[in-house]
């Protein structure tokens, strides 16, 4: 044996009762579990760790991450490693960096700079498989901080196949998109993502999406949509995703599944009833959420979709044109833009969390309403200037959520955890650093919304099952030793909206393949993470 944890409280990820045991590791796997009441000989190892007072669980799986470039830029990646995350799912919201060609890469770099920062010349891959190979290689061949799986981004696929046009795909274009999705699945992707309030992915019809989901279903993958509305029409948008995936015979995983804006206050039970009816009828559905009320995205995402047709440079040209900019303002403030989920924008709910140009840092931490007042102008004038000067690279916190909806949804039988963690900006959303300890500290220990055993199952075995990973997500002999040791009495998210980059407390040890990534509360230099490919790829 390499390592033995003595007298640890095992929360095995199944949702069943915890128990005390000695847990032995060897060769990167769980080699033995001797329960306290077994009466058998206790294991010994080169390293013995007294874990009395600590709980041991499978490593947490972040089902919605935006670390696509961060994992290749920052070997420490403490934002996730320190939380106990041992696997992240990348390629979210229909926009990422593979598959691409030179033109598409340049466009997507600009479009999602607010999510991932500028994509520098180090992006040498063009296919999903080459990106996964790059993750495997990591830093000088030694790997990355945590494991990573990836989804094929449908918006990027559409961009590559047919550009930024708001129109139906031709038969040849649809055939190319189907081929690109099939290639990505064969190369190891676990499914397909969409961002249906982001251009150009949002231009796809249900028929087009259904055809792509049929390809995903052939490989036993899943579809992960950021659907068409989380505001006005949210329930219709959820139902749309259920209908099209059932028509395609494809599993469905609903990204950051919440109900936001004033029109949806207290309406989570309606969403859950919709899901339960579909589940009881045989649908294969799961979802993820983060345990916070504000959302986080880019400021440009709030615009009406027609303002972004043609790509980032076309968007900037429209913003510079006074007449077109006034049309954009009217749609956003009066009609409710599709980018703002069909709800007229309230500028006092839109807080700037990060900018790409450091000269604009004075806006960070202020709502657009406040920043505009300080400049003696209307909020749209401030927003327009910021979009132009920052070349669409500004990120926002959107304070439109409801705590009662958050609590109800996290208790659902198919719920999993996803941080949606955007690591860019001077004042990022604290969910990037705090999602998993926030679940354990606030919603388990302090509020009792979930039991500890239930919550661990939500964060481990359920997502592992969705990803079709047969040897992760449970504390079982023979499973990979991706593990977290934490103190249930003290675990807490250090990150707050005021200090969002603060690391959590109460998580002294995190292991990947039996190697200590976090030891005694400190990040080691171990790079045990690798690309996790679809089973059978």
d(CA 288, CA 459): 10
Q: What's the CATH code, domain 60-293+401-523?
A: 3.20.20.140
Q: What is the pLDDT of residue 535?
A: 84
476: left (phi over 0), alpha (psi -120 to 50) or beta: beta
d(CA 412, CA 402): 16
Domain range summary for the chain, segments of one domain joined by +: 60-293+401-523, 298-399
Compute the mean pLDDT over every residue in the chain, rounded to the nearest whole number.
Answer: 96
pLDDT level of residue 119 (50, 70, 90 thresholds): low
pLDDT level of residue 11 (50, 70, 90 thresholds): very high
Of the candidates 255, 262, 236, which has an alpha carbon nearest to the alpha carbon of residue 336? 262
- Lookup: tokens for 530: 């690798």
- Lookup: tokens for 192: 């397909």
Higher local confidence (pLDDT), 209 or 43 = 209
CA 108 vs CA 153, 160, 209, 269: distances in Å: 11, 10, 20, 37
Q: Mapping DSSP to helix (H, G, I), strand (E, B) and coil, where does residue 536 land?
A: coil
The secondary structure of residue 335, as a DSSP letter, is: I
Q: Give this prediction's pTM.
A: 0.96
- Percent of the chain whose predicted confidence (pLDDT) is above 70: 99
Q: Please tell me the least confidently modeled range out of 103-117, 186-200, 225-239.
A: 103-117
What are residue 515's phi and psi, to 5 degrees?
-105, 140
Q: Is the peptide bond before 449 cis (omega within 30 degrees of 0)?
A: no
162: left (phi over 0), alpha (psi -120 to 50) or beta: alpha
Helix (H) and strand (E) counts in the chain: 18, 20
CB distance 433 to 83 below 8 Å: yes
Q: What is the pLDDT of residue 37?
A: 73
Strands (E), 3-135: 3-10, 19-26, 29-35, 47-50, 55-58, 60-62, 85-90
């Amino acid at each position: 044996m390499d390592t033995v944890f003595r007298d640890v409280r095992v929360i095995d990820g199944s949702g069943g009762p915890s128990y005390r045991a000695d847990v032995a590791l060897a060769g990167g796997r769980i080699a033995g579990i001797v329960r306290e009441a077994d009466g058998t000989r206790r294991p010994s190892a080169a390293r013995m760790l007294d874990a009395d007072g600590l709980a041991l669980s499978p490593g947490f799986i972040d089902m919605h991450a935006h670390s696509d470039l961060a994992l290749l830029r920052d070997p420490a990646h403490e934002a996730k490693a320190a939380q106990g995350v041992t696997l992240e799912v990348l390629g979210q919201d229909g926009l990422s960096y593979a598959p691409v060609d030179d033109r598409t890469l340049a466009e997507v770099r600009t479009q999602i700079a607010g999510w991932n920062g500028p994509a520098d010349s180090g992006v040498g891959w063009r296919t999903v498989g080459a990106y996964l190979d790059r993750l495997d290689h990591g830093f000088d061949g030694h790997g990355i901080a945590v494991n990573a799986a990836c989804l094929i981004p449908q918006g990027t696929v559409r961009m590559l196949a047919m550009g930024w046009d708001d129109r139906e795909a031709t038969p040849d274009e649809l055939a190319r998109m189907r081929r690109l999705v099939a290639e990505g699945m064969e190369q190891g992707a676990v499914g397909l993502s969409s961002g249906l309030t982001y251009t150009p992915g949002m231009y796809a019809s249900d028929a087009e999406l259904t055809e792509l989901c049929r390809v995903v279903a052939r490989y036993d993958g899943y579809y992960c949509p950021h659907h068409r509305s989380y505001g006005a029409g949210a329930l219709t948008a959820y139902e749309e995703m259920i209908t099209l995936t059932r028509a395609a015979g494809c599993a469905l995983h609903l990204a950051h599944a919440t109900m936001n804006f004033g029109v949806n206050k207290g309406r989570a039970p309606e969403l859950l009833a919709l899901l339960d009816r579909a589940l009881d009828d045989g649908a294969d559905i799961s979802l993820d959420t983060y345990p916070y009320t504000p959302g986080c995205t880019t400021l440009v995402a709030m615009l009406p979709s027609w303002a972004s047709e043609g790509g980032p440079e076309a968007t900037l040209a429209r913003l510079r044109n006074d007449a077109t900019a006034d049309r954009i303002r009217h749609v956003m403030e009066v009609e409710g833009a599709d980018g703002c989920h069909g709800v007229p924008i309230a500028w006092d709910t839109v807080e700037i969390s990060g900018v790409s140009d450091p000269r604009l840092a004075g806006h960070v931490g202020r709502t657009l309403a406040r920043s505009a007042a300080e400049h003696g102008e209307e909020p749209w004038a401030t927003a327009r200037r910021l979009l132009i000067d920052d070349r669409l690279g500004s990120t926002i916190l959107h304070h439109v959520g409801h705590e009662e909806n958050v609590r109800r949804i996290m208790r659902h039988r198919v719920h999993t955890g996803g941080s949606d963690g955007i690591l860019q900006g001077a004042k990022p959303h604290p969910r990037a650093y705090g999602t998993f300890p926030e679940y354990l500290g606030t919603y388990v220990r302090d509020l009792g919304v979930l039991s500890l055993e239930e919550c661990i199952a939500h964060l481990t075995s359920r997502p592992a099952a969705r990803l079709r990973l047969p040897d992760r997500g449970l504390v079982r002999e023979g499973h990979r030793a991706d593990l977290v040791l934490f103190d249930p009495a003290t675990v807490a998210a250090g990150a707050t909206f005021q200090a969002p980059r603060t690391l959590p407390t109460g998580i002294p040890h995190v292991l990947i393949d039996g190697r200590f990534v976090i030891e005694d509360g400190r990040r080691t230099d171990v790079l045990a993470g690798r690309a996790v490919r679809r089973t059978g790829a």
